[in-house]
């Protein structure tokens, strides 16, 4: 039975949080009325694999929060073991071509929206964050991870060439030499390693504490003029955004060409089967 203590805590929380009216199906958006901070929760069980629909909903949520002039955006997951497993490999294995095009376009849209977001952004990484999961987290300005998680851009281990935005994200967070080595080795880091190299800013013992730390980070901008803040952020990230725009179409075509290759399909099939077998054994 629920204790009266936890019930009153829940009622208190409910009184300051509201769900955005247009909250979509695969992301839940909650705005804290006291702090003005919006939390976007990725909610595609079991592992928040990024398919067309999740990417679409995430993009909509980010834009909605930005337009509603929230004080900041926190990204987290409804799964207590996995932040996001990255792109849904089923979307790339024996793909429907139009859908594969849409997948990559939506991934690009999400990156642009999150990396270029005018608001302060933070990720409460409450589970593993390989590949696209790491991409989302490193698009944010601040990251807190939980113990015993794994995070990194491992595309190269799947035979995939990390796109240019993976490079921008890592260069924005890590020293150049560390970023390059991590990408060419397709390194997945433990919580301790990620903290040590600076891939994450902090470690928290629970999701609640991670969310709290993210809110504290966003609160550091309380006295800062929001326009001056966002323009300064854009000065740092603008060149990446511009270069991305100039290479966007090429990257889309390269992706489609890449996944169309028979060897790539064979490799993806083996990788997917390996993931499934793990659960059968």
Ligand X SMILES: CC/C=C\C/C=C\C/C=C\CCC/C=C/C(=O)SCCNC(=O)CCNC(=O)[C@H](O)C(C)(C)COP(=O)(O)OP(=O)(O)OC[C@H]1O[C@@H](n2cnc3c(N)ncnc32)[C@H](O)[C@@H]1OP(=O)(O)O
In the sheet with 188-190, reading across from the earlier edge strand, the strands are 129-130, 150-152, 188-190
Scanning residues 201 to 260, which ones bind ligand X (CB under 6 A)? 251, 254-255, 258
Q: How far is the CB of 44 from ligand X (least distance, A)?
A: 11
Task: Please tell me whether residue 85 binds ligand X under the rule CB under 6 A.
Answer: yes
Return the closest-CA partner of residue 256 out of 91, 18, 137: 91
Task: Please tell me whether residue 152 binds ligand X under the rule CB under 6 A.
Answer: no
Task: Report CA-CA distances (Å) from 68 to 18, 65, 119.
Answer: 13, 5, 11
Whether residue 155 lies in the annotated active site:
yes
Q: Residue 218: is it exposed, middle or buried by C-beta count within 10 angstroms (0-12/13-18/19+)?
A: buried
Long-range Cβ contacts of 258-262 (<8 Å, 24+ apart) = 258/160, 258/161, 259/92, 259/95, 259/100, 260/97
Whether residue 253 lies in the annotated active site:
no
Per-residue tokens: 133 = 């999961």
Per-residue tokens: 225 = 């003029």
Q: How far is the CB of 226 from ligand X (least distance, A)?
A: 31
Task: Please tell me whether residue 155 binds ligand X under the rule CB under 6 A.
Answer: yes
CB nearer ligand X, residue 46 or residue 262:
46
CB nearer ligand X, residue 217 or residue 244:
244
Whether residue 132 lies in the annotated active site:
yes
Per-residue tokens: 7 = 């019930």
CB nearer ligand X, residue 47 or residue 124:
47
Alpha-carbon distance of 154 to 172, in angstroms, equals: 18
Task: Please tell me whether residue 262 binds ligand X under the rule CB under 6 A.
Answer: no
Radius of gyration of the chain, Cα coordinates, nearest whole angstrom: 19
CB nearer ligand X, residue 116 or residue 130:
130
Q: How far is the CB of 242 from ligand X (least distance, A)?
A: 17
Scanning residues 17 to 76, which ones bind ligand X (CB under 6 A)? 46-47, 49
Q: Which of 54, 82, 146, 214 binds ligand X (CB under 6 A)?
A: 82
Q: How far is the CB of 218 from ligand X (least distance, A)?
A: 26
Whether residue 154 lies in the annotated active site:
yes
CB nearer ligand X, residue 71 or residue 248:
248
Which positions lie near ligand X, rule CB under 6 A?
46-47, 49, 81-82, 85-90, 128, 130-132, 135, 154-155, 160-163, 251, 254-255, 258, 275-276, 278-279
């Amino acid at each position: 039975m629920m204790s009266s203590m936890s019930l009153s805590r829940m009622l208190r929380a409910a009184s300051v949080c509201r769900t955005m009216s247009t909250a979509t199906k695969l992301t839940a958006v909650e705005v804290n009325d006291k702090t003005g901070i919006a939390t976007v929760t990725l909610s595609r069980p079991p592992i928040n694999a990024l398919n067309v629909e999740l990417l679409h909903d995430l993009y909509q949520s980010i834009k909605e929060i930005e337009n509603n002039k929230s004080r900041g955006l926190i990204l987290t997951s409804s799964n207590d073991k996995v932040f996001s497993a990255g792109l849904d490999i089923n979307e790339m294995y024996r793909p429907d071509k139009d859908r594969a095009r849409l997948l990559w376009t939506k991934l690009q849209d999400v990156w642009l929206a999150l990396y270029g977001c005018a608001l302060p952004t933070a990720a409460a990484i409450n589970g593993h964050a390989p590949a696209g999961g790491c991409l989302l987290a490193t698009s944010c300005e601040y990251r807190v991870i939980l113990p015993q998680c794994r995070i990194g851009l491992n595309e190269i281990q799947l035979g995939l060439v990390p796109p240019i935005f993976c490079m921008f994200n890592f260069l924005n967070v890590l020293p150049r030499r560390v970023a390059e080595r991590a990408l060419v080795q397709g390194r997945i880091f433990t919580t301790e390693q990620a903290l040590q190299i600076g891939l994450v800013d902090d470690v928290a013992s629970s999701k609640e504490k991670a969310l709290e730390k993210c809110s504290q980070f966003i609160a550091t901008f309380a006295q800062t003029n929001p326009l001056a803040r966002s323009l300064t952020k854009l000065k740092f990230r603008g060149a990446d955004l511009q270069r991305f725009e100039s290479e966007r179409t090429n990257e889309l075509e390269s992706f489609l060409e890449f996944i169309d290759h028979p060897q790539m399909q064979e490799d993806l099939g083996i990788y997917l089967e390996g993931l499934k077998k793990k659960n059968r054994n």
